[in-house]
Chain A
Amino acid sequence: MEIPLTLLNWSLALLPLALLVFMMALRRWGAAEAGPLAWIAAAAVAATAFRMSPADIGLQSVKGTWDALTILYVVWPAILIYEVTREAGAFEPFRRGIARLLPHPLIQVMAFGWVFASFLQGVTGFGVPIAVCAPLLVGIGVRPLYAVVIPLVGHAWNNTFGTLGVAWLGLKQVTAMEPAQAAATALYASAFIWVLNLLGGLLVCWLYDRFRGVRTGLPAVAAVSLVHGGLTLGLSQWSDVLNGFIAGIAGFALIFALGRLPRYRQAPAGGRIFEPGAARPGAAETGTEMSLAKAFLPYYALLAVTLGVLLAPPVEQTLAQFSFALPFPELTTGFGFATEAAAEEISLLTHSGTFLFAAAFIGYGAYRRMGHIPSGGWRRVWASTAEKAIPSTVAVVALVAMAAVMQGAGQADVLSRGAAAATGGFYAFLAPFIGVLGAFMTSSNLASNLLFGGFQQTTAAAAGLSTSAVLGAQTAGGAVGNIISPGNVLLGTTTAGILGEEGDVLRFSLPLALLITAVIGAAVLAVA
């Protein structure tokens, strides 16, 4: 028996998400308050309209909490690394050092919010680019709200082929694509992602100083996007794993070359995104106690540890053996909607959280040894970390548990089937929006692909559309969804020091994400 696809069921399935967005964007609740309310709504709808037993709702909530651990394992050390850097007083010398290397404030913002965030997404993912880049932008004087929105928009494109391609591999796995179809899908996906990358770069310039910012930044955006998008497109036919990483690192090298162009050697007043009264980026300052290299120390350590593990397969394979799993039985609702049995595995030592913890410890040890952190620093660092991380922990657990309940009850299935049925031939336009929905619910491009990849494939075939184009749109939409996923937003607000203002970030980033998705949707409509 299938869950009846009625307007009432569809509306009820939408209720938890609508409530979440309403409370956050319109009532300005933080995710730590709106998330639990959305879980209660999801559980109530699952128990009544979707005939899920309370015991199964409980099991799905445990599964969600278990999945949330992988996010929280990034949240806590990301805040820790920020607090260590702050305790050492490294942000001011860091800001001055970057201002000397890249005098133009727009290039500084692009370097951290777009290019470095993309590079980090290429190697780590799981929200690390937001957690790392938001405080760095605050450090150079960017207002906290913009410091969160900019890396959210800037890093999103590398969510499919970044993190060593896990989201792309997940899509291939769940759809069992033949090699020829996989090659075509990779081409479509990377072309749509290129659109996202270009729009991301332009939006960063627009946020910086509206159309004047776009005019100033256009040559740099064109050059970086050519490298990011072009390399991803070209390399998508060669490697599933390395193209996002290579494109990210090439873009990072390029931005420093661009910063030396005469056009960007000047240091005009910062755009509207800078804090009033913040020291003007680019101003010549000397006599800093800490050099840029020292100020960036925990982040060097992060790169060294991450690359040292992930690019050395024997090391990674050895460390990956230390994993543990929690088995979950198959669940079936009163409508016969089944969720397969699964063992959710966590590989602790190869997880980004471990790299972040290692970098934080190395950074603390080095700063302490150099005398930049006085005694009692460790206690202060942990106290500040806990204060910031506790509300994020409540929010992440509630949101991921809500998504798990919605998946298990068939609410997500009804939502996507209803949208497909209502749009008919217009489905191609809708395909990336379904990817966005999946990533919004789960804070993960990979999870979005696993959740909706099979559905998109079948629906595209039934509608006579190109399955490669639609699957490319699914994963590109999943990448866009990371701009608004509450998990990523929370990481940003927490590390930028504006915890509780997730609604403001969402009010800003939601229209941007929908605009980008509509452009990708129009492109899919044209080619599918």
Chain B
Amino acid sequence: MDRTTRAQAAAGGTALVALPALYLGGVYGMAALSAAGMVLFTAAMLVPPVLRILATRSSTEP
């Protein structure tokens, strides 16, 4: 498994951890839990595009 796939797996795992926080926070009105879930989920969603941008930059550097 290459580095990108490992990073994507880690991002997927982080998103998975965020889901119970998002669900319970949303259903039971627990703002702090929701916020923590959103931060985790957003961070997970940022990983693949950031990896792509970094890979593109490193491949175009002289």
* A→B interface (CB under 8 Å): 29-30, 32-37, 39-40, 43, 54-59, 61-62, 65, 326, 328-329, 383, 386-387, 390-391, 393-394, 397-398
Residues of B within 8 A of A (CB): 1, 4-5, 8-9, 11-12, 15, 19, 22-23, 25-27, 29, 31, 34-35, 37-38, 41-42, 44-49, 51-52
- B41: nearest residue on chain A (CB-CB)? A61
Contact A32–B15 (Cβ < 8 Å): no
B18 to chain A, nearest CB (A): 8
Give Cα distance in the complex from A305 to B18, angstroms.
Answer: 36
Q: Please, which residues of chain B bring their CB within 8 A of the CB of A56?
A: 26
**Most-contacted residue by chain B among A34, A55, A59 (CB, 10 A):** A55
Bound Cα distance from A329 to B24, whole angstroms: 11
B42 near A59 (CB under 8 angstroms)?
Answer: no
* A387 in contact with B38 given A61-B22, A394-B11 (CB within 8 Å): no
Find out whether the CB atom of B45 lies under 8 angstroms from the CB atom of A62: no
Taking CB as reference atom, which chain B residue is nearest A32?
B48
Whole-angstrom distance between the alpha carbons of A43 and B12 in the complex? Answer: 18
25 A-B pairs in the complex with CB atoms less than 8 angstroms apart? A29-B49, A34-B49, A35-B48, A36-B44, A36-B47, A36-B48, A37-B49, A40-B45, A43-B42, A54-B35, A55-B26, A55-B29, A56-B26, A57-B38, A59-B27, A62-B23, A65-B19, A326-B23, A329-B27, A386-B1, A387-B5, A390-B12, A391-B8, A394-B15, A398-B48
Q: How far is the CA of A393 from the CA of B12 in the complex (A)?
A: 8
Residues of A within 8 A of B49 (CB): 29, 33-34, 36-37
Whether the Cβ atoms of B9 and A390 lie closer than 8 Å is yes
Query: Which one of A40, A62, A386 contacts B42 once the chains associate, using CB atoms below 8 Å?
Result: A40
User: Is B35 in contact with A59, judged by CB distance below 8 angstroms?
Assistant: no
Inter-chain contact A58/B8, CB cutoff 8 Å: no
A391, B47: Cα distance in complex, Å: 12
CA distance A57 to B41 in the complex (A): 11
Give chain B residues whose Cβ lies under 8 Å from the Cβ of A54.
34-35, 38
Min Cβ gap B37→A in Å is: 5
Q: Contacts A37-B49, A54-B38, A58-B37 given; indicate if A32 touches B26 (C-beta within 8 A).
A: no
